[in-house]
């Protein structure tokens, strides 16, 4: 295959020459490889659109964190010629790659892409005018993402988010205001975390949205409402198992469309959004992804 790598070399932990290593591994498996290193914000989106418009390669391989993957997806969606996507983890947070169980070693990945992976249609989401592949979040999850320093992320990886999370829990501004409205659901009040997810892996947790699927045509919404501290601790202990969705302070539902309004930060695939009120919708089978 003709593979074009879009690599964010500044994403996450210091992974050495991960882009070069992956390119060499793919060449050894008989692929034709071209390479592009991003230089700034939305550069990956611009390059993805350019390659889609040119139509001279067979797929786009995104190396980076969830934010880099988000940019590549947005670039693909801006083009009429939507090339298939192949994600490879290369950042602090790689939730979508974790969800797909993508190999993290370059040689293993080259073998996987060559002999096992298939291009399959997947759903994505749209919040305002920004597409997302994994999650839109508001509240503590989003606040933590914005308060975690880049240097701390690079050194500690996803553990950095838990460090900031503990600090956020004991802060005085834990509870935010939100209004959520969909065809079958309405809530207005205080909350801790709200997210709309395409996969079940968010923030390093494997079962935050337990039955979420990237090919069912729906998004999964999760709201953790204001609760006594002891109940929040109980919810925290249930996150790994997915039992939190049955907690009385948690609302969990599937949706194709909803509206969010909040006084908190919102982010899309870990990157900050400029607005605090927006419509969110599922887009069924929007792109093809190799996994």
CA distance 157 to 92: 5
Q: Which helix (H) or strand (E) holds 221?
A: strand 219-225
> Exposed, middle or buried by CB within 10 Å (0-12, 13-18, 19+), for 46?
middle
The verdict on whether 47 is a catalytic residue reads no
- Tokens coding 159: 């553990």
Rounded Cα distance between 73 and 15, Å, is: 23
Provide, for the chain, the percentages of residues in helix, strand and coil under a 3-state DSSP scheme, each rounded to the nearest 5.
30, 35, 35
H/E segment holding residue 80: none
Report the distance separating Cα 236 and Cα 242, nearest Å: 10
First-last CA distance in the chain: 15
Tokens 């999760």 correspond to what residue? 222
Of 80, 181, 271, 272, catalytic: 271
Q: How far is CA 218 from CA 123, 146, 199, in A?
A: 8, 27, 10
- 3-state DSSP call for residue 254? strand
Q: How many CA atoms lie within 13 A of 131 on its CB side?
A: 20
The 10 Å Cβ neighbour count of residue 55 is: 11
Active site residues: 271
């Amino acid at each position: 295959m003709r593979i074009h790598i879009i690599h964010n070399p500044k994403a996450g932990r210091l992974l050495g020459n991960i882009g070069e290593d992956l390119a060499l591994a793919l060449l050894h498996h008989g692929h034709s490889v071209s390479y592009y290193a991003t230089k700034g914000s939305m550069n990956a989106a611009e390059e993805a659109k350019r390659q889609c418009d040119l139509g001279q390669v067979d797929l786009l391989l995104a190396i980076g964190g969830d934010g880099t993957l988000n940019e590549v997806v947005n670039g693909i969606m801006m083009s009429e010629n939507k090339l298939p996507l192949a994600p490879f983890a290369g950042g602090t947070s790689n939730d979508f790659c974790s969800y797909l169980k993508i190999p993290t070693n370059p040689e293993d990945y080259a073998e996987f892409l060559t002999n096992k992976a298939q291009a399959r249609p997947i759903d994505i989401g749209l919040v305002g005018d920004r597409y997302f592949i994994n999650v839109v979040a508001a509240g503590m999850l989003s606040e933590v993402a914005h308060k975690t320093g880049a240097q701390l992320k690079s050194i500690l990886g996803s553990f950095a988010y838990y460090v900031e999370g503990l600090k956020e829990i004991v802060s005085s501004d834990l509870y935010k205001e939100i209004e959520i409205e969909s065809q079958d659901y309405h809530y207005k009040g205080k909350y801790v975390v709200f997210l709309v997810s395409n996969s079940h892996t968010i923030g390093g947790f494997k079962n935050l949205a337990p039955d979420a699927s990237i090919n069912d045509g729906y998004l999964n919404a999760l709201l953790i409402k204001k609760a006594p501290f002891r109940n929040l601790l109980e919810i925290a202990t249930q996150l790994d198992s997915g039992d939190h969705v049955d907690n009385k302070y948690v609302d969990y539902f599937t949706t194709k469309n909803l509206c969010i309004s909040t006084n908190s930060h919102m982010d899309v695939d870990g990157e900050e959004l400029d607005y605090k009120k927006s419509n969110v919708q599922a887009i069924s089978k929007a792109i093809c992804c190799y996994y």
